[in-house]
Structures are given as structure tokens and as C-alpha cells.
Structure 1
Amino acid sequence: MKKIIVPIDFSEHSEFALKTAIKLAKKNNAEVYALHMLELSDTILTSSSDSQRPEALFFLKLAEKKITEFLDKDYLKGVKVTPIVKHFKVFSEVNDVAQKHEADLIIMGSHGASGVKELLIGSNTERVVRNANIPVLVVKNDLNEVNFEVVAFACDFSEDSIKAYLKACKLFDAMGSKIHLIYVNLPNDRFKSSIEIERLMVNFFTKADRNLDRMKDVHFVSDYTVEEGILNFSIKMGADLIAVPTHGRKGLSHFFQGSVGEDVANHSTLPVITFKI
């Protein structure tokens, strides 16, 4: 892990993300890119009028000044932090910036969203998770430690999930984390017997690891929704981090609709990291 992107909106939660990034950067000798997306009106952005250009330039310079002031903190010392200001507030651009700088991780601060607000507009975090091709770590609090010794990895044991699983194993094995894999068994037409789940597991680990060593780290959980199963078991087992593979807009292949990765990231009080399938 050498490069970390942190979207900054000057809120308390974006500072939680920045602090987490700095702690990880110090452990891995990485550099951090602090990204602020400037929200300008369509009129200013699309206008060819000379009168609009000074206004756009004013807001750009103001944003550059504000992010420089925001990054004037003692805890940043010892880490290379590069500020980036983009003109558009388009959340797919976070992934574009990450790709341009060959970043390994995006860290987002989030307070989540619920109820009508979530249904109507979702959250900025969900949009970044949906569009990012690299792992996205979502934090809700100021983390004292970023060791992530115990990780709960949600898995449906589909072949689609193998790529995300291998990425997660590479990251967590390097960090010395203990990975517990969680399979959430659902009622009604999505229910699977123990034998059916074990067959999925054998096929999955045979193709992913070429051995069945990690089968001992799998936990079957029964719940009414995948999200509830993941969150409830992660708390019960004392996990430091929840890891979820996601298709973004499609959701996990095992699941019925929506994106489980986005929902878990939005509602969990624990840190959540998503890996794109």
C-alpha cells in the first residue's frame, strides 16, 4: 500500500478519514492525496462568458486556500500529503483520480444515511463505493488504532467473488489480520442447506486457493437479510473491520437486489472496506 486517496469536504468525518489514512501511511511508508471536489453551479461551469471566469477562478482559489488550512495539522508530519482540488463534484471522479495516481486505497469518512434521505439521494459514500475500482475503506469514527486484527469478510462463495477475496487476503495477510469468512443463509427461496453451502465452499476455495485450509474460518449465519447477518455477527465476534465484495450497482451476485456492500458501509458503526468484484 503506497498511495491513499482521501476525499475531503472539511467535515469532522472527513478528518476521521484523514487521520486513519495518516496512521496507515505511517505503517506502510505511503503517501496521501487529499481530494476536494469543488461544487460549482452548472451556469458557472458551462458558461463561455468572460464575466463567469473570474467567479470560477475565485472559488477555485478559495478552495485551494481552505484545503491548505485544513491540512495544517501536527498529526500530518512525517507523511507526504498532496492536496488536489477538482472543479466538479462528480463522485466517479474519485475513481478517476485514484487511477491517475495509481492509488491502492480510498478512505472515506461517513455519518451514513437512513430513511427517506437514503432512499432519495443516498450518501456520498455510497456513490464512491459504487464507482470505485479499488478498495474503499469507510470510517464513521476517530479510530485510535488501525491494526484491524480481526476482520469479518462477507462472502457468498460464488466464483464472481474470487477476485475480491484474493485481493482481500493479500491485503489482510500483509497486515497480519485474522480473517473470518461469513456466509449469511436467508429464508424462503434463497435458503441453502448445509450440504449445498459446503459444496459452494469446496468449489470456491479449490479455485481460489487450490486448497481448503480456510474452510475452518467460515461461519454460517442465519438472518432475515444479508446486511443484518453481516452486522450482527461482526459485532458478536468482536471484529475490528468488516470486508465486503461488491458489484457496485448490481450488488453481490448471491443477493436479491441493491448493493449489500453499499448498505453495510452506510449502516455499520464498524469500519467497512469494500472490494470491487
Structure 2
Amino acid sequence: MKKILIPTDFSKYADEAIEVGAEIAKKNDCEIILIHMLELPGQMNDALTGATSIPEVMLFKRKAEETLKNIKNRPYLQGIKVTEVVRLDGAYHGINNYIKQHDMDLIVMGSHGASGINEIIIGSNTEKVVRQSETPVLVIKNKINNFKIQNIIFASDFSKEIKKPFQKMLDFTKLFEAKLNLVMICTPNSFKSTSAARKIVTDFVADFDMPEYSFEIYNENNIEKGIINYSNEKDADLIAFCTHGRTGLNHFFAGSISEDLVNHATKPVLTFRI
């Protein structure tokens, strides 16, 4: 792991993500890229070609650059190589474009989640990045004073399509020398016998150099609730999950378990796109 991207809107949620990113960077001697997307008011954005708008745009940009420099000077970032980036773009599109243009190993984002009508129609920028990013995304939901990953929950159906992201998850697990808890959530609509589930997982992990791990089947009414309840029972430090990155009507009707977890779980969530 060499480069960690941390988007910030200067909120407390972003600050919590920066603190976690700093701890990961120190442990692995990584560079941090702090990026702020300067979303201009609609009327100003429409008038960008006009000369009168340029001074005001530059003022906003300088203010954002000054704020990033102040963040860079915080004590917990001392000794870490930090690069500041300000871009004139929408939050989600700007972050996604930057990811495509640069080789990032991890994205760390803060989130306050979404609920009700906002969750259905708007969604958060964090969950949009989770849906589309081919780089692993670590979502921080609450302030963590001493970020340690000792106990990871990885929930899956252990199908063949997740083998590539599963290797990335193993690399992350080994990086932190964490214990890995594999779990298959069985619901009324996706019931499997214990023997059948064990065979699926045994065959799946046979292709990997596995660290210390355990496997359990957990029964619940739905997958999201099962993952959250199981992670709480195991006192997990991190929930890991693979996402399909659905978009458009397919995403609207099928939904996304990873986005539900980003919105509703209180523990950090690490997502890998299939």
C-alpha cells in the first residue's frame, strides 16, 4: 500500500476519516492525498465563462487550499507525506475521475449515512463512490480514537465472481495481521444446509494462501441485518464486503447491500468492487 486518497468536505465526518487514514499511513509508510471538490453554486457554475465570475471562483479556491494546508499541519499528520488537491467539480464525479486518473491503493471516506427518502432518491457521495470505485473503499462512520484492525468480518456467498476482490481483502487482512471471520448469511430466501455451506467455503478458500480464519453460518431475516448483528456479536473492528457496482434501474430495483451497510452500520465498512 503506497497511496491513500481521502476526500474531504471539511466536515467532522471527513476529519474522522483523515485521522483513521493517518494511522493507516503511519503503519504502512503511505502517502496521503487530501482532495477537496469545490462545488460552485449553480448560477456561478453557469457563468464560469464570464470574466466577472473568475475572481470569486479563485477566492473560493484559495480558501479551500488554505484550509487543506491547515489540515496538513495537524499533529497527527506530522511525518506523513501529504499532498493537497483542490478541483472544481461535483463531489462524486470529481472523486471518481481522480481515482481513474491516478493509481490509488485505498480510499478512506467519512459518512453520516442516509435514511428515508434521502437514501432512496439522493444517496450520499460516499455510497456513490462505494458503488463505482474499483479501488477498495474504507468508510468511517464514527470517531475512532485508536484505530486498530484485529478482527475482520467478511460476509459473502463465496461465489466464483468474488475471487479477485477476495484476494485484495486477504492482502488487507495480512497487512494488519488481523483475524479473519468468514460468514455466510442464510435468509429464508437463500437457505443452505450447514454441510452445503461448509463445502462451498472449503472449496472456495482452497485456491488461496489463507491466514488464520474461522467460518460460521448466521441465520437472519435479511443479509444486512445478519451482517450487522453478527459483527456486533463478534465485536468486529471492521466489516468487509464485495459490491457489484450496480447503476441505473438495475441498482434502483435490486438495491445494494454494501450501500445499506454504509448507511446503517456503525462499524467501519471496507468494500471491494466485483
TM-score w.r.t. the length of structure 1 is 0.89
Q: How many angstroms apart in 2 are the aligned matches of 1:10 and 1:114?
A: 22
Aligned counterpart, 1:5: 5
Distance change in 2, residues 1:231/1:61 (3 Å): same
Task: Using the aligned pairs only, state the percent identity.
Answer: 38
Q: How far apart in 1 are the matches of 2:145 and 2:63?
A: 32
RMSD: 2.1
Aligned to 1:145: 146
Instruction: Look up the equivalent residue of 1:191 and give its one-letter code.
Output: F
What is the deviation of 1:244?
0.6
* Counterpart-to-counterpart distance in 1, 2:212 and 2:198: 9
Distance 1:169 1:152 in 2: 12
8 Å CA contact 1:182, 1:221 repeated in 2 = yes
Q: 2:191 aligns to what?
A: 191
Alignment of structure 1 residues 1-277 onto 2, 5 Å: 1-47=1-47, 48-188=49-189, 190-206=190-206, 208-209=207-208, 217-249=214-246, 257-277=254-274
Query: Is the Cα contact below 8 Å between 2:132 and 2:273 reproduced in 1?
Result: no
Larger deviation, residues 94-103 vs 114-123: 94-103
Name the aligned partner's letter for residue 205 of structure 2. Answer: F
Distance 1:53 1:29 in 2: 39
The 3 A distance-change label for structure 1 pair 272 and 216 is closer
Q: Which amino acid aligns with 1:67?
A: L
Other structure's SS at 1:129 match: helix
Following TM superposition, by how much is the alpha carbon of 1:8 offset from its aligned partner in structure 2, in angstroms? 0.7
CA displacement 1:50-90 (0-9 Å, x = unmatched)? 22223322222222222223333122111111111110114
Give SS of 1:126's match: helix
Task: State the TM-score, normalized to the length of structure 2.
Answer: 0.90
Q: Is the 8 A contact 1:94 1:132 kept in 2?
A: no
Moved over 4 A (4+): 213-216
How far, CA to CA, are the matches of 2:18 and 2:266 in structure 1? 17
Distance (Å, rounded) in 2 between the aligned partners of 1:166 and 1:197: 20
Q: Partners of 1:199 and 1:231 in 2: how far apart? A: 24
Write the distance in 2 (CA, Å) between the matches of 1:199 and 1:172.
Answer: 23
The range that moved more, 18-27 or 52-61, is 52-61
Q: Could you tell which deviates more after superposition, 22-31 or 216-225? A: 216-225
8 Å CA contact 1:91, 1:131 repeated in 2: no
> What's the CA shift for 1:193?
2.5
Following the alignment from structure 2 to structure 1, what is the Cα–Cα distance between the partners of residues 212 and 185?
15
CA 1:183–1:21 in 2, change beyond 3 Å: closer, same or farther?
A: same
- The 3 A distance-change label for structure 1 pair 51 and 22 is same
Matched-pair contact (CA < 8 Å) for 1:45–1:56: no
Do 2:179 and 2:212's aligned partners in 1 also have CA atoms closer than 8 Å? no
2: CA distance, partners of 1:214 / 1:198: 18
Please give the alpha-carbon distance, in whole angstroms, between the structure 2 residues aligned to 1:127 and 1:215. Answer: 33
Partner Cα distance (1:269, 1:234) in 2: 10
Q: Distance in 2 between matches of 1:173 and 1:73?
A: 29
Structure 2 CA distance for aligned equivalents of residues 225 and 101 of structure 1: 37
1:147-171 alpha-carbon deviations (Å, 9 max, x no partner): 2000000111111111111110111
Kindly tell me the number of residue pairs found equivalent between the two proteins.
Answer: 268
Worse-matched range after superposition: 13-22 or 111-120: 111-120
Deviations 1:207-236 (A, max 9, x none): x32x8x789711101111110000000010
Contact 1:241 1:271 survives alignment (8 Å): yes
